[in-house]
Amino acid sequence: MSPSSATEDVTTKHSFCRVCHAACPIEVDVATNDGVERVTAIRGVQEDPLFEGYTCIKGRQLPDQMHHPDRLRKAYRRSEGGELEEVTSSDALDEIAEKLAAIIEEHGPQSVATYTGTGGYQNCVALEAARGFHKGIGSRSLYTSVTIDQPAKSMVPALIGWWEGGWDNFRDSDISMAIGYNPMVSSYAAAGGLQGTNPFTTMRRAKERGMKLIVIDPRKTELASFADIHLQVKPGEDPALLSSMIKVILDEELFDIEFCEDWVEGLDKMAAAVESYTPEYAAERCEVDAADIVAAARMFAAGTCGTAGTGTGPNMAPNSLLTEYLAIALNALCGRVNREGDQVESGTLLYPETPKRAQAIPPMDIRTGPQHRFRNLRGYRGEMLCTVLAEEILEPGEGQVRALIVNGGNPAVAFPDQELTMRALRDLDLLVVVDHRMTATAVEADYVIAPTLSLERADVPHLMDRWLTQPYTHYTDASIAPEGDVLNEWQVFWGLTRRLGVSMPLAGGDIAALDEPTDHDVIDYVYAKARMSMDDYRATPRQVHPERSYVVEAADPDCAAKFDLGSEPMMQKLTEARSQQTSSELIDGYVDGEFPFRLVSRRLKSALNSLGSELPALAAKGGTTNAAYMNPDDMAQLGFTSGDLIEIASPMGVINGVCEDAPDVKQGVISMSHSWGDASMKDDKVRDIGVPTSRLTSTTACYDEYTGMAVLSAIPVKVKHSDLIEA
């Protein structure tokens, strides 16, 4: 950060943070010196009605992210000599469009794919711009991080059904059950669970009003420190735990009998399927006390309002679809839905008006999406599956992907099976990366385009809009003018469609028909069908709109839809899970006794995946590696001390990590953050850049046959001192 000088003019602007999706409102100090603007400080907005001044350490480092010396501010192209050389973004788009046209001509439109990662999701128009680009060129090959994060969340409503009026509100809850998520760090929100809006204060108030909290997590997380019951479950065994809780609730008739008579079917099938999941059986398999399972089941059922919800951990573990299904089944069983007359917590002002009646939405056919060429997998909800992308690139034939545009993501370290992913990325005819950092994927690219960063663009909190605790508007303009040859992500797709001579349809029409659209125009086009007009939305920054709350209406008297607790594929999975000794058996190459530990994925206060380790204040707090956190007793038994380099091997791959003691981690568990490191496969710089845990995983050794999800957490591993020679 540059020191203030006498000529500096400092003004304070209002915006919101976009490092993660929580969208915390911020005051942004902007110093102008000789016409150049710099962000010098970030503060929370004390008077904000929802966030009450909350920010986290990551958001407060925005000035360093915006002005980092290594931030990309120009475009690059691969020279004939193989180096990345500077090019104007306009020339880069000309050349990319020319290559795309040739690829489409030779291989057809499906050969052009895009991948929007976590970074791209923070821009309210980036994904919709990618969708518009795909519609324009006629390609279905749209990929996002959703299909390697929590795809079960998209699939389960089709299996079990849903509730039009929404799940119980957290603000009214007297019980809450969090299964493998920690909103205190990740700001992640499960339906009806604690939101990322000022989470510590919100939880403290909930506890003060008497809310009970059950946390199921192999770590004693920040959230678990508030728990009335913390079940420190063995990773990957959540289905046994949840099935046993359902059994207790059914056996003791603790469920909402009246609600189930009206709105639930398949109870008898569920009862039969969980019959053998006794608390004693689940306790042994999950390494918790049977009495605690019974107590948790009774506590959950005794509540009058409040939901169970899952997070990244169980959604990345084996049996992920089953875990999500069982969590939603618990909610349905206990009738944890908004009833007629209830006010829905979130306003969803940025989404189209939808009916909110006190009635179920029936399950649907789950196998209707476009067919992948491998493993009988299908895309769903307008996306193809990331776990199949490498094969779609490498395998010749109709539908082969030859060009990939990566926006705000890093497949080289994030996708399962790093070796396969790198082979695929290097096989492409064209790889374009839009990123502000020279990531492990960007160094492989044919073109790199530098994007604007959050405080340089207009935006709306589009992800948080569904989870905010009240209908709330926050339109932000850019706080500073961008410096350098940087493009908003939508400009990349708009520029390509214009050059290709195709349309770019968004909700409000064809944006490719506009000659010089602004950020504001594009937001208007993307959110043209929002239930609040963008003019009204813009006019009321940081305001709550209780008058725009949905109030749940009476059910349609003819509605015959019900939740299906006896879904055939899920009953089959329950039976199969019961026949396993451990969920690790599902993984090809697993040998009982050889892999005594489970490696779980985790979030860090000082980083969002690997984003943050390059910023001095965050590196000082969290270090520059994704440490392998272990229980001190395990470390003592293995002769490890903190800072030791250890080798971690799964049935699918090997990495080297830096061991750190962590009493909050259950014995037998290694806890590591994902998407770190580079593509060298060497790990010799592990202390400086971390290591990708994706190398321990595979797209084919164990995957869900509906979502294609690979096992990215609860990975069976063995550990020993490493022989690696460090750089």
- How many residues bind ligand SF4 (CB under 6 A)? The answer is 12
In the complex, least distance from residue 629 CB atom to ligand SF4, rounded to whole angstroms: 21
Q: Which two tokens stand for residue 179?
A: 């299964």
Region near ligand SF4 per CB under 6 A, out of 17-25, 261-269, 447-455, 478-486 = 17-25
- Please report, as a single letter, which amino acid is at residue 370: P
Shorter beta-carbon distance to ligand SF4: residue 459 or 524: 459
d(CA 109, CA 105): 8
Q: Is 24 in the site for ligand SF4 (CB under 6 A)?
A: yes
d(CA 190, CA 194): 7
Query: Strand locations in 482-583, DSSP E?
Result: 505-506, 509-510, 543-544, 563-564
Region near ligand SF4 per CB under 6 A, out of 15-23, 232-240, 447-455, 650-658 = 15-23
SS3 150: coil
Q: What is the DSSP letter of 584?
A: G
161: left (phi over 0), alpha (psi -120 to 50) or beta: left
Region near ligand SF4 per CB under 6 A, out of 18-26, 307-315, 496-504, 506-514 = 18-26
693 Cβ contact list (under 8 Å, min separation 6): 599, 601, 626, 655, 672, 673, 674, 676, 712, 715
d(CA 176, CA 170): 8
Shorter beta-carbon distance to ligand SF4: residue 51 or 380: 51
Shorter beta-carbon distance to ligand SF4: residue 127 or 570: 127
Query: Strand locations in 327-453, DSSP E?
Result: 360-361, 403-407, 430-434, 447-449
End-to-end alpha carbon distance in the chain: 30
- Please report, as a single letter, which amino acid is at residue 23: A
Please check whether residue 597 is in contact with residue 718, taking contact to mean a CB–CB distance below 8 angstroms: yes
- 129 CB-side CA count, 13 A: 27
Q: What is the DSSP letter of 42?
A: E
Q: In terms of Cα–Cα distance, which of 649, 668, 669 is closest to 591?
A: 649
Region near ligand SF4 per CB under 6 A, out of 13-21, 295-303, 542-550, 706-714 = 13-21
Region near ligand SF4 per CB under 6 A, out of 22-30, 204-212, 671-679, 706-714 = 22-30
Q: In terms of Cα–Cα distance, which of 552, 470, 530, 545 is closest to 167?
A: 552
In the complex, least distance from residue 36 CB atom to ligand SF4, rounded to whole angstroms: 25
What is the DSSP annotation of 623-679? -SS--EEE-HHHHHHHT--TT-EEEEE-SS-EEEEEEEE-TTBPTTEEEE-SS-S-S
Binding mask 194-233 for ligand SF4 (x = CB under 6 A): --x-------------------------------------
For tokens 């699939």, name the residue: 155
d(CA 393, CA 389): 6
Q: Is 565 in the site for ligand SF4 (CB under 6 A)?
A: no
Angle between helices 238-251 and 267-274 (to 10 degrees): 120
In the complex, least distance from residue 25 CB atom to ligand SF4, rounded to whole angstroms: 9
In the complex, least distance from residue 55 CB atom to ligand SF4, rounded to whole angstroms: 4
Looking at 28, 30, 45, 56, which residue binds ligand SF4 (CB under 6 A)?
56
d(CA 596, CA 647): 14
Residues paired with residue 33 on neighbouring β-strands, in sequence order: 36
Region near ligand SF4 per CB under 6 A, out of 21-29, 88-96, 162-170, 617-625 = 21-29
Please check whether residue 279 is in contact with residue 246, taking contact to mean a CB–CB distance below 8 angstroms: no
Shorter beta-carbon distance to ligand SF4: residue 461 or 482: 461
β 447-449/430-434 pair status: parallel
Q: Is 17 in the site for ligand SF4 (CB under 6 A)?
A: yes
Region near ligand SF4 per CB under 6 A, out of 12-20, 103-111, 209-217, 692-700 = 12-20
Shorter beta-carbon distance to ligand SF4: residue 199 or 716: 199
Q: In terms of Cα–Cα distance, which of 501, 503, 460 is closest to 132?
A: 503
For tokens 């010098």, name the residue: 40
Q: What is the DSSP letter of 172?
A: G
In the complex, least distance from residue 127 CB atom to ligand SF4, rounded to whole angstroms: 18
Looking at 27, 31, 59, 243, which residue binds ligand SF4 (CB under 6 A)?
59
Shorter beta-carbon distance to ligand SF4: residue 54 or 167: 54
What is the number of the residue whose Cβ is closest to ligand SF4? 59
Q: Residue 425 burial by CB count (10 A; 0-12/13-18/19+): exposed, middle or buried?
A: buried
In the complex, least distance from residue 668 CB atom to ligand SF4, rounded to whole angstroms: 31
Region near ligand SF4 per CB under 6 A, out of 55-63, 158-166, 391-399, 555-563 = 55-63
- Please report, as a single letter, which amino acid is at residue 638: L
φ and ψ of 554, to 5 deg = -65, 150
Shorter beta-carbon distance to ligand SF4: residue 56 or 242: 56
d(CA 703, CA 383): 17
Residue 546 C-alpha from the chain's centroid: 29
Q: Is 571 in the site for ligand SF4 (CB under 6 A)?
A: no
Shorter beta-carbon distance to ligand SF4: residue 127 or 714: 127
d(CA 663, CA 464): 33
Shorter beta-carbon distance to ligand SF4: residue 429 or 614: 614
Shorter beta-carbon distance to ligand SF4: residue 22 or 125: 22
Region near ligand SF4 per CB under 6 A, out of 54-62, 336-344, 395-403, 471-479 = 54-62
The Cα-based distances of 399 to 1, 342, 386, 391, 396 in angstroms read: 49, 48, 15, 11, 8
Shorter beta-carbon distance to ligand SF4: residue 122 or 147: 122
Please check whether residue 379 is in contact with residue 397, taking contact to mean a CB–CB distance below 8 angstroms: no
Shorter beta-carbon distance to ligand SF4: residue 187 or 470: 187
Looking at 23, 66, 274, 332, which residue binds ligand SF4 (CB under 6 A)?
23
Q: Which two tokens stand for residue 122?
A: 């923070």
d(CA 289, CA 419): 41
Q: Is 22 in the site for ligand SF4 (CB under 6 A)?
A: yes
Region near ligand SF4 per CB under 6 A, out of 20-28, 74-82, 553-561, 707-715 = 20-28
Region near ligand SF4 per CB under 6 A, out of 53-61, 203-211, 216-224, 401-409 = 53-61
In the complex, least distance from residue 196 CB atom to ligand SF4, rounded to whole angstroms: 6
Shorter beta-carbon distance to ligand SF4: residue 432 or 458: 458
Please check whether residue 320 is in contact with residue 573, taking contact to mean a CB–CB distance below 8 angstroms: no
Q: Is 20 in the site for ligand SF4 (CB under 6 A)?
A: yes
In the complex, least distance from residue 18 CB atom to ligand SF4, rounded to whole angstroms: 7
Shorter beta-carbon distance to ligand SF4: residue 134 or 436: 436
Shorter beta-carbon distance to ligand SF4: residue 52 or 265: 52
Shorter beta-carbon distance to ligand SF4: residue 20 or 178: 20
Looking at 31, 39, 58, 155, which residue binds ligand SF4 (CB under 6 A)?
58
Shorter beta-carbon distance to ligand SF4: residue 247 or 474: 474
In the complex, least distance from residue 462 CB atom to ligand SF4, rounded to whole angstroms: 13
- By CB under 6 A, name the binding residues for ligand SF4: 17, 19-20, 22-24, 55-56, 58-59, 187, 196
